[in-house]
Amino acid sequence: MPRNLRELLFELEAEMKATALWQAEPLPPSAYESTEPFCIDRMNFAQWLQFIFLPRMHALLDAEQPLPAQISIVPLAEVYFAQAGVKAEKLVKLLQRIEQAVLA
């Protein structure tokens, strides 16, 4: 399953770039000092996906570490993209597939 998960992570990155949600500039170090879920007080959801979620998932796969026992990012994704006015059906479906792959 990790191979499929890795492919899904790359698909998520490509879709974020295709929908202009990928940020070229790195975040300031202070953005990583959050203690809130999804770093919601320091970055938006798309930034969290790019700078926190994707690197951590790749790191877990690279190190052959156990994947999270729980994952639930789709509800936040749906709310964030709706509020941001972003047509993100494909992104949400990718996130659903990633959740399924992690929990399989």
Measured between alpha carbons, how far is 10 from 8 in angstroms, rounded to an integer? 5
- For the domain covering 2-103, report its CATH number: 1.20.1440.40
What confidence tier does 80 reach under pLDDT thresholds 50, 70, 90? very high
Question: Which residues fall within 8 angstroms of residue 66, CB to CB, at 6 or more apart?
Answer: 60
Kindly provide the residue ranges of all beta strands, DSSP E only, lying in 10-59, ordered along the sequence: none
| Residue-wise pLDDT tens digits, 45-69 | 999 999 999 999 999 999 999 999 9
pTM of the model: 0.92
**Are residues 94 and 102 in contact, defined by beta-carbon separation less than 8 angstroms?**
no
Per-residue pLDDT, 84: 87
